[in-house]
Amino acid sequence: VLPFPSQVVYNRVGKCGSRTVVLLLRILSEKHGFNLVTSDIHNKTRLTKNEQMELIKNISTAEQPYLFTRHVHFLNFSRFGGDQPVYINIIRDPVNRFLSNYFFRRFGDWRGEQNHMIRTPNMRQEERYLDINVCILENYPECSNPRLFYIIPYFCGQHPRCREPGEWALERAKLNVNENFLLVGILEELEDVLLLLERFLPHYFKDVLSIYKNPEHRKLGNLTVTVKKTVPSPEAIQILYQRMRYEYEFYYYVKEQFHLLKRKFGLKSHIRKPRPRPEFFIPSPLETEEPIDDEEEDDEKWLEDIYKR
């Protein structure tokens, strides 16, 4: 049996399937006996230095093995003298994530007719029913930068520059993905994400895919689907793509790394044909259709190196 991390952090990105995964984690924690540590704080992702120290202290003293989950930007435990945990996360197409959040804030999901009123009780009616195209084309703050720079800070961290759309935050986020995250998956390929989590972290995720595919669980998952979503016009979507160029550069980077990992472990699952890539100034990443040679290092050694980080 490989050594396994006893400290795992899932700093879940909003509207990237995290409620589905947390539902699974509640079942898995009872089944496998690990400590699932959750937070009731959902709207505070950026922390002061003292808040970072306090949260890291609280996490580090939790009973092990633990999996901590919260909407929070990357925390550097080693900066405050703590042991760096293994990080995992999931992201999705940035425009799809934005649209899901836009309509969820206004209309909630299928769990209750009025749950959006609980989340945004002070939202004015004219704002709640603001047409998505008007929001984008007329440059409302909610539909323009820096509000659209959302995914990268979860991986860049707590530095103030992590919230500024640009190369610095992008490159720092990529570096943290490489050095601190065991796996960053793609929501559009969730079953493969779960397969790899089960492979890498069996003490936490054993049997996760069979639980996920259980009809009773799928019913629960369907209740978290956002309601009243509409699709913006092609012109509005193109503007979003332009405004989210760094988000897309990061998304395609993560997607490429995820596909490399899938090939390495022999996953060739069928996925839906993606929609055409937007025509703008992000260079296309190298495709990974061909299987990767297995000469570089064996799978078990690779996992051991990850666990020792």
Cite the active site residues: 71
Phi/psi-derived region of residue 33, left when phi > 0, alpha when psi is between -120 and 50, beta in every other case: left
Euclidean distance between CA atoms 276 and 58, whole angstroms: 45
Closest CA to 249 of 305, 132, 160, 165: 165
Q: How many CB atoms lie within 10 A of CB 218?
A: 11
Element (H, E) at 68: strand 66-69
How many Cα atoms are found within 13 Å in the side-chain-facing hemisphere of 249? 21
Q: Which two tokens stand for residue 235?
A: 């012109």
Query: Helical H runs in the chain?
Result: 18-32, 49-60, 94-107, 115-119, 125-128, 132-137, 153-156, 167-180, 190-200, 202-205, 208-213, 215-222, 234-243, 245-264, 299-307
